[in-house]
Amino acid sequence: MNLIELKKISKSYKTNIGSFEILKNINFKIDKKKSIFLFGPSGCGKSTLLNIITGLDVPDKGSILYEGKAVKENHMELLKKDIGIIFQDHYLISELNVIDNIKLKHQNISEINEILNYFKIDDLKLKFPNQLSNGQKQRVCVARAMVSRPKLLIADEPTSYLDRENADLVINLILDACKNFDLSTVIASHDISFKSNFDYSYTIESNSLIKC
């Protein structure tokens, strides 16, 4: 059973020198509880595809189904409730400590404590972003993305600013947590070394999605 299905999605960007097609006729299914790796060189369209899945961007053509029903103006509701996102940048507010940063997303304090405890980062609770290493910041972001117990976790290049050791740690942390909480996940990266950790992998070549 799939959670989200993209049907015949196309997307172009218009610039002052013309219109560029990035995605053409993409069909993509995200099965429940499965992990998907999306890789490919910078500029191939990974972020564009992920932003269409999360509703942060809209396709020119095609449709998106969530649990078999067409997603239209309710995409933002899904984003609040059922889709967690981890970005390349942490987007933590520097004036707020870890708890208050997560509270911006989810107000239930006991659930925040539960997720911090799950990720073994209780000791970071009262720290401010500039007191955290890049690896710790990204672990806070993983916790923030999962605090509302979404059904789908989307991560766009979550390891770009991490060294090898922290990159492996964050990917494994996300994959283990997804298994534990029964989440589907799509993680985009240009680092192909993660591929074997996932259930399925895809790349984008010449505007098309290719299973590999």
Question: Which positions touch ligand ADP (CB under 6 A)?
Answer: 13, 15, 22, 40, 42-48
CB of 89 to Mg ion, least distance (A): 11
CB of 190 to Mg ion, least distance (A): 8
42-71 footprint of Mg ion as x/- string (CB under 5 A): ----xx------------------------
- Partner that binds at residue 48, options ligand ADP, Mg ion, none, CB closer than 5 to 8 Å by kind: ligand ADP
**Pairing between strand 184-189 and 152-156?**
parallel
- Whichever of 167 and 188 has its CB closer to ligand ADP, that residue is 188
- Whichever of 23 and 143 has its CB closer to ligand ADP, that residue is 23
- Whichever of 47 and 136 has its CB closer to Mg ion, that residue is 47
CB of 101 to Mg ion, least distance (A): 23
Handedness of CA 85, 166, 184, 148 (dihedral sign): negative
53: Cβ contacts below 8 Å, ≥ 6 apart = 4, 6, 28, 30, 64, 83, 152, 154, 186
DSSP β-bridge partners for residue 86: 155
20: which DSSP letter? Answer: E
- Partner that binds at residue 13, options Mg ion, ligand ADP, none, CB closer than 5 to 8 Å by kind: ligand ADP
Distance CA 45, CA 48 (A): 5
Cβ(157)–Cβ(189) under 8 Å? Answer: yes
CB of 165 to ligand ADP, least distance (A): 24
CB of 41 to ligand ADP, least distance (A): 7
How many residues make contact with Mg ion (CB under 5 A)? 2
Q: Is 207 left (phi over 0), alpha (psi -120 to 50) or beta?
A: left
- Whichever of 93 and 210 has its CB closer to ligand ADP, that residue is 210
- Number of C-beta neighbours around residue 46 at 10 A: 23
Which residues contribute to the site for Mg ion (CB under 5 A)? Answer: 46-47
